Structure 1
Amino acid sequence: MPKERLSVVVTRRLPEAVETRLCELFNVRLREEDTPMSRQELVEAMKTADVLVPTLSDAIDAPMIAQAGERLKLIANYGAGVDHIDVESARQRGVLVSNTPGVVADDTADMTMAMMIGAIRRVPEGLRMMDKGEWTGWAPNALLGGRLGGRRLGILGMGRIGQAVARRASAFGMQIHYHNRRRLRSEVEQSLEATYWESLDQMVARMDVITIHSPHTPSTFHLMNARRLKLMKPDAYLINTSRGEVVDENALVRMLKAGDIAGAGLDVYEHGIEINPDLLKLDNVVMLPHMGSATVEGRLEMGEKVIINIKTFDDGHRPPDLVVPAML
């Protein structure tokens, strides 16, 4: 008899090609609406499925995992970050967790550079002027920004995305500095022409731009807190395309309003879609709706990784992108 297909529940609408391939391989229940599942819907899905395919909009905590059915053996996350999943609780219950690392590093690095350029060159102010019909023509002193070339860039988190940003920023003539949990191998450091700082405080105080590429973990929550933000130079910029929880958003808003730092570029926010209303009123902030990884190519590749992880598991092997608590 043919082997029974795995029961797979997908929590959000995915690219059509990904959904089609999943349906060809497994017994799949797709999401009709492109909205997050409720907490109860997620629990019900975990009670009946062999594999759950969640996204970063699905918070899966220990009490939810405790209600999972005996069939659930794999949470194949559609995305690299897994801070929304209690990986340790899943492991204790015998549920594997996989993710999709490395797929959107270039996409996110591209967006980081776009936000950096946007903030330093005052692009949002120019756009607002055009939208309101206030532009009266070219003027020598109008909307003067600055050059990227020659500025010191401090990269907080030198993984795949951080290194991709370093390569791009170097091409713009920026000087590359970084702080990381572990120092890079000397040959990698040399290829990036990057200066390592063991002390994050010392790096932050000397940089013209700080860009954050760190996951959200208990140790990185408010890593850029009020004290550390105050170390930044008054003409420095903060860019965040990683996780909003890494920055104390209220402290950042206070400093931006007071002119204690020059500006910021934010693609993520500490409280998700509940954005501090004062941020929306500031001219010196580039704000985007968490679209750093939003490319057609990236979303398809993420889906391919999800499928490979599930298929490898179904074949009786360890998923290639297995997440273990020690990695976090």
Structure 2
Amino acid sequence: MTKPKILIARAVFPEIIARLEQYFEVESNQGDAVWSGAELAQRLQDKEGAFTTGGERINAAVLAAAPRLRICANMTVGYNNFDLDAMTAAGVLATNAPDVLTETTADFGFALLMATARRITESEHYLRAGQWTRWGYDMFAGAEIHGSTLGILGMGRIGQGIARRGAHGFGMKVIYHNRSRLEPRLEAECKACYVGKDELLKTADHLVLVLPYSPASHHAIGSSELALMKPTATLVNIARGGIVDDAALAAALRNRTIAAAGLDVFEGEPQVHPDLLSVPNVVLTPHIASATLPTRLAMASLAADNLIAFFTRKAPLTPLNPAVLAIK
């Protein structure tokens, strides 16, 4: 029997490719070329499935060029690279990889919070530049973390992980805002108190963004929101680029509207707004919150599981548009 053809759109673990080759005729991109939309569409013309990494946009134009495509499996939890409406209309299933990266990403979010509050990047640059010639009582004096108020915007699994770390590990008061309030059991577990968005912005000493990206959350943090924050506050974004207005944030950092920021995601990444590169009070990392080898392997394995399940007539584990399965 002829195996279904699939495309692996970016370089991935060799053991994942070997596993998929048991079920599929695989075209892989181990050279890790970054294809344009037209190039991706051309590669997908004869494919029935795709293994994607979150950067490959599956939209109406790509779908029109790939009439045999039946499933796209992201190895990331985010899926704003998928036009779900267009995929559903074309009968193409979308899946993602939640849960397996929750704790690792929460670890990194807290690490970025600490680096931002304690001015790690600024002080390292100072040291590397040979400027450290003496000690001063206020040299790189940052913000306290223990006992401070941790604000979380977006309280899904990762937000809850950060809340637990703050409340239980650092004795922080945790407040949060979310589209819907957590059930009492989860609030108690996280030691978290639900507040309105404006109160969250005004009250938090450290604000962490963990909400999904959508048109409704585009620039959820802009100049007016930043103006509500304390001048001593820090902001950390491990969610998605576009949730923060990066130009407004750079201006707020330069003007000391807020004290500092830590960013792992950016609008238009891998490009970074040039104004963010010129302010000292920001920690910048290249979208690495889930970057441990065990977690990345688990993410890739879940994407492979979804592909294999779909083509062996089993239920995919994490469908994003399950209505497609009902149609089939």
TM-score of the aligned structures, taking structure 1 as reference length: 0.94
Residue 228 of structure 1, CA deviation: 1.3
CA deviations on 1:294-328 (whole Å, 9 max, x unpaired) are: 110111101110121111111213311100299xx
Identity of aligned residues (%): 35
What SS does structure 2 have at the residue aligned with 1:256? helix
Question: Are positions 1:322 and 2:319 aligned together?
Answer: yes
Matched residues in 1 for 2:61 and 2:55: separation? 17
Instruction: Verify the 8 A CA contact 1:155 1:179 in the aligned structure 2.
Output: yes
User: Is 1:11 aligned to 2:6, yes or no?
Assistant: no
Kindly report which structure 2 residues correspond to 1:167-316, keeping only aligned pairs within 5 A, or say none. 167-170=164-167, 171-197=169-195, 199-316=196-313
In the alignment, the residues of structure 2 paired with residue 259 and residue 111 of structure 1 have an alpha-carbon distance, to the nearest angstrom, of 25
Distance (whole Å) between structure 2 residues aligned to residue 263 and residue 27 of structure 1: 49
Could you tell me which residue of structure 2 aligns to residue 104 of structure 1?
A: 101
Alignment of 1:81-96 (within 5 A): 81-96=78-93
Q: Kindly indicate whether the alpha-carbon contact (under 8 Å) linking 1:45 and 1:52 is maintained by their aligned counterparts in 2.
A: no
* Cα distance in structure 2, aligned partners of 1:234 and 1:47: 53
- Name the CA distance, whole Å, in 2 between partners of 1:24 and 1:131: 50
Counterparts in 2 of 1:148-167, with a 5 A limit?
Answer: 148-167=145-164
The answer (yes or no) to whether the contact 2:12–2:30 under 8 Å persists in 1 is no
TM-superposition CA deviations, 1:213-254 (whole Å, max 9, x none)? 011101111111221121111111110011010011111111
What's the offset of the Cα at 1:202?
A: 1.9
Query: What is the identity, as a one-letter code, of the residue corresponding to 1:262?
Result: A
**Per-residue deviation at 1:137?**
4.2
Determine the structure 1 residue equivalent to 2:74.
Answer: 77
In structure 2, C-alpha distance between the alignment counterparts of 1:16 and 1:127, rounded to whole Å? 36
Q: Distance in 2 between matches of 1:312 and 1:64?
A: 24
Matched residues in 2 for 1:179 and 1:250: separation? 24
Structure 2 residue runs of 5 or longer lacking an equivalent are 324-328
User: Partners in 1 of 2:122 and 2:43 — Cα distance?
Assistant: 46
| SS class of match (1:28) | strand
Q: What amino acid maps onto 1:314 in structure 2?
A: F
Structure 1: 5+ residue runs without aligned partners? none
In 1, the alpha carbon distance for the partners of 2:123 and 2:244 equals 27
Could you list the structure 1 runs, at least 4 aligned residues long, displaced by more than 4 angstroms after superposition: none
- For 2:127, which of 130, 136, 148 is the aligned residue? 130
Equivalent residues of 1:15, 1:299 under 8 A apart:
no
**Match for residue 326 of structure 2?**
none
Q: Is the 8 A contact 2:117 2:144 kept in 1?
A: yes
| d(CA) in 1 for partners of 2:190, 2:238 | 21
Distance 1:144 1:226 in 2: 26
Contact 1:12/1:37 (<8 A) preserved: no
In the alignment, the residues of structure 2 paired with residue 252 and residue 325 of structure 1 have an alpha-carbon distance, to the nearest angstrom, of 38
2:46 to 28, 48, 51: 48
In 2 relative to 1, CA 150–325 (structure 1 residues): closer, same or farther, beyond 3 Å?
farther
Q: Deviations over 1:187-217 (max 9, x none)?
A: 11111110011x2112111111110001110
Structure-1 separation of matches of 2:253 and 2:199: 21
CA contact (8 A) 2:211 2:239 kept: yes
Secondary structure of 2:20 counterpart? helix
The one-letter code sitting in structure 2 at the alignment partner of 1:178 is Y
Find the residue that maps to 2:91 and give its secondary structure.
coil
Measure the CA separation in 2 of the matches of 1:325 and 1:281: 45
Q: Deviations for 1:102-134, whole angstroms, at most 9, x for unmatched residues?
A: 111111111111111111111011110221122
Give a deviation string over 1:162-191, Cα, whole Å, max 9, x none: 011111112112111111111111111111
8 Å contact from structure 1 (residues 263, 285) kept in 2: yes
Q: Which amino acid aligns with 2:300?
A: G
Letter in 2 for 1:114: A
Q: What SS does the aligned partner of 2:138 have?
A: coil
Query: Closer, same or farther in 2 for the Cα pair 1:325/1:137, shift >3 Å?
Result: farther
**CA deviation string 1:250-276 (max 9, x = no partner):** 111111110111110001111212212
**Inter-partner Cα distance in structure 1 for 2:308 and 2:57:** 24
> Contact 2:149/2:205 (CA < 8 Å) preserved in 1?
yes
